[in-house]
Amino acid sequence: MNRSHLPARPPRPRRTTARAALLAGVLLAAGACGLDGAPDGGETRRTGKASGEITFRTLQLKPTYTAYVQGVVDAFEAEHPGVRVRWEDVPGGGYNEKLVADAQAGALPDVVNLNTDSFQLLADRGLLADVAALDPGAAKEYIPGAWEQFKLPGRGDSVFAYPWYVTPEILTYNQELFRASGLDPDRPPTTVEQFFDHADRIAERSGGRYAAFMADPKGRLPGDWQKMGVPILNAARDRFAFDTPEAVAWVERMKSLYAKGAMPKESLLTSDDVNQLYGSGKLVFGPGSPGFVRDIKQNAPQVYADTRVAGAVTGRLGHIGIYAQSLGIRKSTRHPDAAIAFARWVTNGPNQVEFSRNATVYPSSAQGLADPRFADRGDGRDADTVARAVGAEQLKTAALDANTPVEWTNQVGDAVVREVQKAIKGEQDAATAVRRAQEEADKLLADAARR
């Protein structure tokens, strides 16, 4: 299934790129000049009456979801005859660059769809309205983890976007390959250590016919370490702190499993062929998202029949993280009442539930997530139906301490993975790899602080 930019696997954690840092610098300069939403540009106040024309920008929803989104817009305008909504949709490529250009030109949309990177880009520069202040009753309408995601450090209870749709993490696996490996499909792993134990057994029993999981260290870190209780940063958040015996043990275990054939050799560098490998019965654990289950249902029905779903491996945390798309309100909008009313309309329970019927996404709305659709497991044998219920259950307790810290940028991830890969391939020992990884990460963090 290719559903536009909606993720088939849990979205990648927020990792600031060099380009994003450059764009942030541009916006900082824009702020100094008093451009759109800048600190000296002021924030409009609500009048109590929703009226006027507002712009609404989405990210790569046309043409797949045109009928759904246009229906939401039309219904809102019918309820609010004094408001006109001008909907625009833009491709995913260059989205942040377009936001920066619009900010410089004073042309940010009144209501704008943001992913985690673009939210950070605009919110850090004071371009988004504090919706918690403008709409005090909103917090109770959303699941806590989603609402908390759009706060900023040092800004108290201020929230700078409405949560929209979310994608949870789950565990997917081939029960027939579980049995062939001497494992009980009714007892999937719940910790990273148990996951590795399962992979060990799979490597012993598979005879090279199938692997346990994709190595993909870029995708596994720092999440695996967080689940093992490894601190990623110190308390001041100005240095990394993952150089611990637990992190070293993780690298040693990955090295051992890689040597035993528990992972496809090429997966140390890329995980691009994971759907093909799982769909052909050559991989036990698939990507952890309900969207992946839907993919397998459509494209590999024989393997789908053997696919099981369980709660994600959460380890010591006991819960998953949360990465929501959001709707930000332009700080300097001339029509705050209309913009807020529309953002609340798009993200309300019924509209989010309807969206979930069109795409493999979940509501951030507490009312939406409580819909019976998300509790229904059917007869317990259809993985797609079970995945929907399992994902919804996990979202109820999702919390930000399981999210990737913003300090773990793409550059930090790349530096850490380079050292880890060397150790997994036997080119250096695990302790050296973790030590060097932290040293490189600290240099990058210090460089970022000086910019």
Tens digit of each residue's pLDDT (9 = 90 or more) over 232-291: 999 999 999 999 999 999 999 999 999 999 999 999 988 778 999 999 999 999 999 999
Burial code (b: 16+ CB inside 10 Å, e: under 16) for 19-53 equals ebbebbebbeebbeeebbbbeebebbeeeeebebe
The Cα 129–Cα 232 span in angstroms is 31
**Side chain identity at 189, as an amino acid letter?**
P
Q: Are residues 437 and 299 in the same domain?
A: yes
- Indicate whether 34 pLDDT > 80: no
Q: Are residues 78 and 163 in the same domain?
A: yes
CATH of the domain at 199: 3.40.190.10
In a domain, 42, yes or no: no
The Cα 446–Cα 15 span in angstroms is 16
Q: Are residues 359 and 446 in the same domain?
A: no
Q: Are 110 and 134 in contact (CB under 8 A)?
A: no
Domain count, the chain: 2
Q: Are residues 372 and 405 in the same domain?
A: no
Q: Are residues 112 and 184 in the same domain?
A: no
Q: The pTM is what?
A: 0.88
In a domain, 3, yes or no: no
In a domain, 4, yes or no: no
Distance of CA 34 to the CA centre of its chain: 32
In a domain, 18, yes or no: no
Tens digit of each residue's pLDDT (9 = 90 or more) over 341-389: 999 999 999 999 999 999 999 999 999 999 999 999 999 999 999 999 9
In a domain, 7, yes or no: no
Chain-wide mean pLDDT for the chain? 91
Instruction: From 353, 377, 396, give the residue that closes a domain.
Output: 396
Q: Are residues 144 and 193 in the same domain?
A: no
